[in-house]
A and B are shown apart, each in its own frame.
Chain A
Amino acid sequence: MSESTTSSKHVSFLEYKGKYKGLLGWIFSTDHKRVGLLYLYTMLVFFSIAATLGLLMKLQMLAPGHTLMGPQTYNAMFTVHGIIMIFVIVVPGLPAVFGNFFLPLMIGAKDVAFPRLNLASWWIYVIGILVVLSSQFIGGWPDTGWTFYAPYSFQTPVNIVPALVGATIMGFSSILTGINFIVTIHRMRAPGMTWFKMPLFPWTLYATAWIQVLATPVIGITLLLTLMERLLGVGIFDPRLGGDPILYQHLFWIYSHPAVYIMILPGMGVISEIIPVFSRKSIYGYKAIVLSSLAIAFVGYFVWGHHMFTSGMSGRALYAFSFLTFLVAIPSAIKVFNWVSTMHKGSLLLQTPFYWAVSFIFVFMIGGLTGLVLGSLATNVHVHDTYFVVAHFHFIVFGGTGYSFMAAIHYWFPKMFGRMYDRSWANIGWVTFFAGFLSLYTPMFVLGLQGMPRRYYDYLPEFHAWHIFSTLGSILMIAGAAIVIINLVRSSRHGQKTSEKNPWGGKTLEWQADTPPTLENWEEVPTVTQKPYEYK
C-alpha cells in the first residue's frame, strides 16, 4: 500500500505543462481528467442557463394569465430548457464528467483507450451545442418541446432545423464516449482486477456505454428523418403523405427511454460507491447490484411504449409495454434494497456526500413508485400529459441524476482539485436544495391529479394555491443550488489544500492515486488482490 499523503514534489495534472499553455492547454488536452473537467465546466455554464429558464417559467406560473411571458415565449422556454437539460446536461452528465475522470483511476489505467477520440467527443459535443444555440439567430427558438413530436415538428413555423441537427451531432459525442469506455473496461483493467473485482461505478458505466452505443444511433436517424420530412416532405411520419406519426413516437422513445437509463445507471453507480464508504461496511449484494445494472440496461430497451399509452397503439402493445415496465422496476428495487441493507448496522459517517446519497434514495423511491402509476394502463390515461408526469420525470431525472451528480462531486472533489470545500456551506446548500426540490415538485403531483395539463402557460384559478407553493419551492431550490455551486467553484481555487490521498477511507483504487492525480495517474500500475469495499 502506498503512503497516505501525496509528496509535495509531485506534479499534478492541474499543474502539468504540456505542449500548449493556458486555455489551449485545456481544450487540446487528451488527458482524461482534463477532458472530464472540460465537460464539467461546460455543463455548469449550461445548467445555469437552463435553470434560469426553468425559474422564469415558474415565475410565469405564479399567477394565472399573461404575466411575465406569452404562450409562444413559454413554449420556447420549456423547449430550450428541455433540450439543454436533457441533451447537454443529463445524458452526457455523469459518464462524461466523472466517468472520464475516474474510470481509468478506478480500474488502474493511465488513461482511456482512445484519448484523442475522447477529446474529439468533447469538441463534437460543443459544436452540437453551438448549432442548437444558433436557432436564436436563424428563425427563433424551437417550440416543439424537447421531444420534437410529429407532426408538429415539421409544421411549426419556427425553424427547428438547428435544434434537430445539433441534437444529432451531440449524439455522436455520446456514442464515441460509449465506445471508449467499453474498450477501456475490456482492455485496460489493472492486473488482478477481474470483472467481479471491478468497482460498481465502472460496472454501471459499462452497462451505460452499451446503451450509448446501441440506442443513440436510433435518435440520430429519427431526427434526420424528421429533418427530411420537414425539408423534403418524404412522407415517413406525415399522415397527409401516407406516413405514420406514431412511428415517430416509437423511434423517438426506442432511444429516449433507454436514455433515461443512460442518465440514471451511472448515478446508481455513484451511490453504490458512496454508501459502503460512509457506512464503513462492504456493499451488500455486490453481484446482485452488478447483474441488476445489466438487467436494467437490457430490459430498459423494451419499455419505451409506456410513453405512448394514449397515442392510439394497439391494445396488445399496451398490455406488453405495461407488463415490461413493471418488470424493469424489479432490478431498480434490488439496488435500493442493497443500499439500505448496506447501511443497516453500519457505522454511518454523516458527511455531505452521504447526505446527497441518502436523499437520492428518497427522491428516487418517490420517482420510481409514481412511475408505477404511469406504467399502469388505467391510471396512465388519467394523468397522461399532466403535471403528474412533470413531477415524476423531475423526481427521476433531476432527483436521480442531479442528486447523484452532487453526491459524486462532493465525494471526489478533494481528489479532483487537491482542495476541500467548506463543509458547513455544503451542508446548508444541500438542506436548502432538498427542501426547495420537494416544495417545487411535490405540488405538481397534486396539480396533475387535479387535471392541470403540462406545457400550458396559463391555468384556471383553482390551481393557483399549489402553483404559488411550487414557485416558492423553485426559488428555494435555486438558492440551494447557488450555495452549492458557489461553494464548490470558490473552493476549487481557494479551498483548504489537501494532499491526503484518502480523506473518506475509501477502498477503491482511485484513493491510492496522488491528490490531485499526476498526468498518467500511476508511477507504477497497481496490482489488485482483493474485492472493492472490503471493510473489516
Chain B
Amino acid sequence: MSEEKHHISSYKSHLLVLLALLILTAASVAVTSVEMGAYNTLVAMLLAGAKATLVLLWFMHLRFDNKIYAIFTAFVIVLFLLVLFVTFFDYSYR
C-alpha cells in the first residue's frame, strides 16, 4: 500500500455532501410536523435512504471503486426493499 496520502475525492465535494446531509437531516425533522398520515413514514424512509446513498457513494467510496461493489450494494438494497414490501402486505391491510 502506498504511503503517499492520496484523496480520490476533493475536500469541496466532501463539504458539499456534508451540507446535503445537514439539509436532509433538517428536512427529516421538519417533516415530522406535517401531518401526512401513513406517508410520514414513507417520507422519513426516503430522506434516510437519500442520506445513506450519499454516505455510501462519497464517504464509503462506492462512486470511485470497482463497479462490482456498487452492484453488490444495489442488490442488498433491493433485497431490503423487497423484505419491506412483503412486510407491508401485513401492515397495509391489517
Residue contact A214 to B92, C-beta cutoff 8 Å: no
List the A side residues contacting B93 at CB < 8 Å: 314-317
List the B side residues contacting A197 at CB < 8 Å: none
List the B side residues contacting A324 at CB < 8 Å: 86
Determine how close the nearest CB of chain B comes to the CB of A447; give it in whole angstroms. Answer: 31
Q: Out of A214, A246, A312, A320, name the residue touching B86 (CB < 8 Å).
A: A320
Residue contact B90 to A301, C-beta cutoff 8 Å: no
The chain A residues found within 8 Å of chain B, CB to CB, are: 214, 246, 250, 254, 298, 301-302, 305, 312-317, 320-321, 324
Given A214-B76, A320-B89, CB of A313 within 8 Å of CB of B83? no
Interface size grouping (class) on chain B: 10 to 19
Determine how close the nearest CB of chain A comes to the CB of B56; give it in whole angstroms. Answer: 16
* Complex Cα–Cα for A298 and B89 (A): 19
Main secondary structure of the interface of A (DSSP, over half): helix
Residue contact B94 to A313, C-beta cutoff 8 Å: yes
List the A side residues contacting B87 at CB < 8 Å: 250, 254
Residue contact B89 to A302, C-beta cutoff 8 Å: no
**Counting CB contacts under 8 A, is B79 at the interface?**
yes
Main secondary structure of the interface of B (DSSP, over half): helix
* Complex Cα–Cα for A315 and B92 (A): 11
The chain B residues found within 8 Å of chain A, CB to CB, are: 76, 79, 82-83, 86-87, 89-94
* Complex Cα–Cα for A104 and B76 (A): 26
Q: Out of A214, A254, A301, A317, name the residue touching B89 (CB < 8 Å).
A: A317
Residue of B nearest to A316 (CB): B93
Show 14 residue pairs from A and B whose CB-CB distance is below 8 angstroms, ordered by the A residue: A250-B87, A298-B79, A301-B79, A301-B83, A302-B82, A305-B86, A313-B94, A314-B89, A314-B90, A314-B91, A314-B92, A314-B93, A317-B93, A324-B86
* Complex Cα–Cα for A512 and B92 (A): 57
Residue contact B92 to A254, C-beta cutoff 8 Å: no
Residue contact A250 to B76, C-beta cutoff 8 Å: no
List the B side residues contacting A254 at CB < 8 Å: 83, 87
Determine how close the nearest CB of chain A comes to the CB of B45; give it in whole angstroms. Answer: 16
Residue contact B79 to A314, C-beta cutoff 8 Å: no
List the A side residues contacting B79 at CB < 8 Å: 214, 298, 301
Q: Out of A214, A298, A313, name the residue touching B90 (CB < 8 Å).
A: A313
